[in-house]
Amino acid sequence: MFINSLYRLKIEIFIYNIRYTIVTMENKTAFLEVFGDSPILKVMDFLVVNEDFDYSMTDIAGLSGVGYSTLKLFWNKLEKEGIVINVRVVGKAKMYKLNLANPVIKKFRDFYWETTKQKVHEKAEEKLIVRR
């Protein structure tokens, strides 16, 4: 039951983000819209949304919209604090993903999705009011 509602929420968020991106022409998720788009938040946003997969640092930088040099400034801290973990090596590339075993990350993830859910519902209510 919880898994179905989580996937349903992810689908709602995906649809919201597509519609919102088309309307505003910006590439910000609901979470980044609320808390700002600092480089570390962009990376955390990307890792939470794409938690099922592992990525190289180059991919994380490119797909999250953060410069590789900027990512390197705080990446060691993310590793040291157990926020990200190295899951495998592909050729020379180390592949990383969010450390879902970390209790702080579990709480952050819950916070992320709750914030996003609230923003999605807020935007949906605004659209309902406008359409009436």
Per-residue model confidence as pLDDT tens digits over 117-132: 998 888 777 766 666 5
Instruction: Determine the Cα–Cα distance for residues 55 and 51; give it in Å rounded to an integer.
Output: 10
Check residue 44 and give its pLDDT: 96
Check residue 22 and give its pLDDT: 39
pTM of the entire predicted model: 0.76
Q: Is 89 left (phi over 0), alpha (psi -120 to 50) or beta?
A: beta
Residue-wise pLDDT for 40-72, tens only, equals: 999 999 999 999 999 999 999 999 999 999 999
Residue-wise pLDDT for 7-53, tens only, equals: 777 777 766 665 544 344 356 888 998 999 999 999 999 999 999 99
Residue-wise pLDDT for 63-107, tens only, equals: 999 999 999 999 999 999 999 999 999 999 999 999 999 999 999
Q: Which ranges of 25-102 does DSSP label H, i.e. alpha helix?
A: 30-35, 39-49, 57-64, 68-80
Check residue 126 and give its pLDDT: 73
Check residue 2 and give its pLDDT: 53
Strand order in the sheet with 93-98: 55-56, 93-98, 84-90
Check residue 6 and give its pLDDT: 67
Q: What is the CA radius of gyration of the chain?
A: 16
Check residue 25 and give its pLDDT: 36
Check residue 52 and give its pLDDT: 92
Lookup result for tokens 């990307």: 46
Instruction: Determine the Cα–Cα distance for residues 24 and 7; give it in Å rounded to an integer.
Output: 25
For residue 17, give every residue at least 6 positions away whose Cβ sits within 8 Å of its Cβ, in sequence order, or none. 29, 30
Check residue 23 and give its pLDDT: 42
